Every structure is written in structure tokens, then in C-alpha cells.
């Protein structure tokens, strides 16, 4: 049965809504890919050991690649924390220095008071009574003593406050210096971890490419073949489908279909889907973030970046961000993450399908979400 005929069999069940038109284009694109690769894969064994081995190696390399992407984000954060801590050290040192200068200003007066007390000087009223020779002289001495005593108490209070401020500033400076040391140590450890992951990844990439080069043309076609497409959902009673042939032509020309989001999907999600679909056929590249080659998180980051939304280049970071979405409430544009370590990701396009950059030797494609491994979670951005 021809692809056009197959689609016509479903035409009476398709709604002309934007989202359903989008999904029909996606389905047609996947079916066209299947027709073009069918002749090449007719003799390929679905359980071919060489392809299975390549898939396993590629899965390991992807996990390492996403771990390296996450480590790079972590390193950037640790370096930023180190820079902030070093700035705090400089600021606290300046405050401590100013506080010590204030202490030294009051120290002169304190020293004079201590010397005067030691040499027998007194500011007590009892001493004035003993040394005065007339009532007026007593009044004058008491007045002077009160003035001098008040000034000395004020200066002593200022001295104590300045001393306390200096002690606190120096403690903050020591704490900031320790925080800077810890931040620098953490950055050093994360950098070492990142370098180890990058080295491991380079070895894994070489192994994957070597394994890929052993595949026959038929095996390579089998690897790149689209996954089976689930049937379109039934339309509501009374809905009339459009003729599919124009959609077949559009799918063959690989245009960017307009995605529609409803039921609470994010405003940026529709645009991200549309952007990602323009990259169908782009090659997979470890660390790739577009516009011509991608890894899985690079495609998500690039697609959302076209909508002005900045996302991290890491599937694990994508699995931690955004808003959690139950799988029963998925909307086009939601980001789906896979495997126990969240080492793969893609963008949901509706109808149980997603667009993703899967693995080496396989271009960006639309596939069922059930074909990419166990689902870790879904997030909305």
C-alpha cells in the first residue's frame, strides 16, 4: 500500500485543527522516511549484533557526554562562586582595615586616660571634696570632673564599639577567605572531574566511530531508519479530514510545520517544536548545539533559544529545571528526559511523538516517546 493511500485511509478521522495538522505532517514525514529506507533495510536483521553493539556504545558515550555537559555547568557555577568569594574577601578586608584605623584614633585618648590614672590623677567627687579649699572651688572642680568624665566615658564607649566592629570585620574577612578557599578547591575538583569525563568521552567516541565504520550500508540504513509511527488518534464525531496529498508534498519538502499548544502548554513550547522540526535530518554530534549538528540537549537548548528562552546544555540540568509535568498531561513543547540518570532528552510534539537527536549515525528525527528508553520525567519551560 502506498504512503499516500495509507494516509487517505486515516483522512476521515483527522481533525483540521492546527495541532492535528502538525501531527499529520510529522507522521507523513516519518512514513516517507520509512519508504525511502525500506529497500535498504529489507535484508537487515533487527537483532543484528553489530548494530546492537553500536547502540550500546553510543548509549554509553551519550551518558558520558551529558555528564560532561553537567560538569561544565557545575564548573561554571563553582568558578562564579569563587570569584564572588574573592570579591567578598577584598571588601571585608577593606572594612576591617577601616575599623582598625578607627580603633587607633581612640587608642590615643585611652592611653592618656590610663597614664593619668596611673600617675595619680582622679576624676572622683570624693577627691574634689578633699582638695577643695572653698565651696566655690568644690563646685568648680566637680563641674570640671563631670565634663572630663563624660568626655572620657564617651571616648571609651566609642573605643569599645570600634574594637568590636574591628573584631567582627576581621572575622568576616577570615570567613570570606575560607569560603574563597573552599570555592577554589571545589572548582579544582569539578574541573578535574570534567577533564576526566572529556577524556573518557573522546575514547568512547573513537570506539563508536570505529564500530560504525564496520557496519554495512544496510546496517547503517537500519540504524537511521525511523521508529514505527503510532496511528493517528480518532477524530471527534462529526469532524471531517482534509485531503492528505498536499501534506504528503509538504512532508517530502520538509517544511517547518506550525505547532499548536493547548491545555496549559507553555507559550514558548509551540515555537520550540516548530524550530526543532526545521532541524530534522541534521546530524548527531557530541556536544553539538546547532544550528547544523546537535546532541540531545543541544537540540532542546537551541530550539528554545530561538524563542528567547535560555536553557542549559545538559539533559540532567533540564530534568531538574522548569515545571514538573505528569506524562498524562504532556503538551507539545514539553521536555521529556530518559534513563535513570536523565542522560537523554527530547521535545514532545504531540500524539505520543517527540523530536530528538538520538545517537551517532542517526539524524534528528521524530519518533515515538516509547522508543527512546525508560522515561525519567517531563518538564515544562
Number of other residues whose CB lies within 10 A of the CB of residue 379: 19
pLDDT of residue 226 exceeding 70, the answer is: no
More confident residue, 214 or 330: 330
- As a whole number of Å, the end-to-end CA separation of the chain is 41
| 277 has a pLDDT exceeding 70 | yes
Residue 334 pLDDT greater than 80, yes or no: yes
pLDDT value at 301 more than 90 = yes
Strand order from edge to edge, sheet including 353-356: 323-324, 375-380, 335-338, 344-350, 353-356, 365-368
Does 257 score more than 50 pLDDT? no
Q: Phi and psi of 140, rounded to 5°? A: -65, -45
pLDDT class for 43, splitting at 50, 70, 90? Answer: very low
Q: What is the pLDDT of residues 85-101, one digit of tens each?
A: 888 888 888 888 888 88
Query: Residue 356: its pLDDT value, please?
Result: 98
Choice among 53-62, 106-115, 117-126 with the minimum mean pLDDT: 117-126
Give the contacts of 346 (CB within 8 A, at least 6 positions apart). Answer: 296, 299, 300, 335, 336, 338, 354, 355, 356, 357, 369, 372
Beta-carbon-side half-sphere exposure of residue 135 (alpha carbons within 13 Å): 0
According to DSSP, the β-strands at 365-368 and 353-356 are antiparallel
Minimum mean pLDDT among 6-10, 68-72, 87-91, 103-107: which range? 6-10
Higher per-residue confidence, 179 vs 119: 179
The answer to whether the Cα torsion of 345, 351, 355, 361 is positive or negative is positive
pLDDT attached to residue 102: 78
% helix / strand / coil in the chain, to the nearest 5? 65, 10, 30
> What does residue 367 show for φ and ψ, rounded to 5 degrees?
-140, 165
Identify which has the larger pLDDT, 343 or 9. 343
In this prediction, residue 163 has a pLDDT band, given cuts at 50, 70 and 90, of confident
Name which of 142-146, 191-195, 297-301 the model is least confident about: 142-146
pLDDT band for 51, please (50, 70, 90 cuts). confident
Task: Specify the pLDDT at position 161.
Answer: 81
Residue 30 scores a pLDDT above 70: no
Per-residue pLDDT, averaged over 320-346, amounts to 97
Q: What is the reported pLDDT for 127?
A: 54
C-alpha to C-alpha distance for 369 and 363, rounded to whole angstroms:
16
Q: Quote the pLDDT of residue 101.
A: 83
Could you tell me the three cell numbers for 112? 592618656
Q: How confident is the model at residue 243 (pLDDT cuts 50, 70, 90)?
A: very low
DSSP lists the bridge partners of residue 337 as 345, 377
**What is the structure's pLDDT at 377?**
98
Mean local confidence (pLDDT), 172-193: 87
C-alpha cell read off for 359: 545517537
- Which DSSP letter does residue 327 get? G
Query: Residues with catalytic annotation?
Result: 296, 344, 356
Amino acid at each position: 500500500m502506498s504512503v499516500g493511500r495509507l494516509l487517505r485511509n486515516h483522512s476521515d478521522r483527522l481533525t483540521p485543527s492546527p495541532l492535528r495538522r502538525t501531527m499529520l505532517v510529522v507522521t507523513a514525514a516519518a512514513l516517507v522516511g520509512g519508504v525511502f529506507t525500506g529497500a535498504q533495510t529489507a535484508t537487515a536483521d533487527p537483532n543484528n549484533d553489530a548494530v546492537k553493539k553500536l547502540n550500546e556504545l553510543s548509549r554509553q558515550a551519550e551518558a558520558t557526554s551529558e555528564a560532561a555537559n553537567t560538569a561544565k555547568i557545575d564548573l561554571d557555577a563553582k568558578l562564579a562562586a569563587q570569584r564572588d568569594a574573592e570579591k567578598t574577601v577584598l571588601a571585608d578586608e577593606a572594612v576591617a582595615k577601616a575599623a582598625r584605623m578607627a580603633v587607633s584614633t581612640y587608642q590615643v585618648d585611652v592611653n592618656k586616660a590610663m597614664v593619668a590614672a596611673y600617675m595619680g590623677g582622679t576624676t572622683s567627687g570624693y577627691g574634689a571634696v578633699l582638695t577643695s579649699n572653698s565651696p566655690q572651688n568644690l563646685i568648680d572642680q566637680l563641674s570640671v570632673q563631670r565634663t572630663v568624665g563624660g568626655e572620657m566615658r564617651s571616648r571609651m564607649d566609642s573605643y569599645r564599639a570600634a574594637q568590636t566592629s574591628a573584631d567582627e570585620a576581621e572575622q568576616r574577612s577570615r570567613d570570606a577567605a575560607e569560603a574563597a578557599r573552599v570555592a577554589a578547591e571545589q572548582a579544582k575538583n569539578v574541573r578535574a572531574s570534567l577533564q576526566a569525563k572529556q577524556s573518557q568521552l573522546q575514547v568512547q567516541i573513537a570506539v563508536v566511530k570505529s564500530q560504525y565504520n564496520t557496519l554495512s550500508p544496510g546496517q547503517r540504513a537500519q540504524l537511521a531508519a525511523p521508529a514505527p509511527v503510532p496511528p493517528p488518534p480518532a477524530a471527534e464525531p462529526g469532524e471531517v479530514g482534509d485531503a492528505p496529498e498536499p501534506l504528503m508534498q509538504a512532508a517530502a519538502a520538509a517544511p517547518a510545520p506550525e505547532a499548536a499548544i493547548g491545555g496549559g502548554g507553555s507559550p514558548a513550547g509551540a515555537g520550540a517544536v516548530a524550530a526543532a522540526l526545521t532541524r530534522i535530518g541534521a546530524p548527531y554530534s557530541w556536544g553539538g548545539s546547532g544550528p547544523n549538528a546537535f546532541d540531545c540537549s543541544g537540540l532542546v537548548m537551541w530550539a528554545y533559544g530561538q524563542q528567547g528562552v535560555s536553557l542549559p546544555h545538559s539533559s540532567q540540568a533540564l530534568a531538574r529545571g522548569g515545571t514538573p509535568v505528569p506524562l498524562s498531561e504532556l503538551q507539545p513543547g514539553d521536555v521529556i528526559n530518559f534513563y535513570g540518570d536523565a542522560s537523554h532528552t527530547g521535545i514532545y510534539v504531540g500524539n505520543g511523538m517527540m523530536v530528538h537527536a538520538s545517537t551517532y549515525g542517526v539524524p534528528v528525527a521524530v519518533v515515538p516517546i516509547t522508543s527512546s528508553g525508560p522515561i525519567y520525567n517531563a518538564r515544562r519551560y
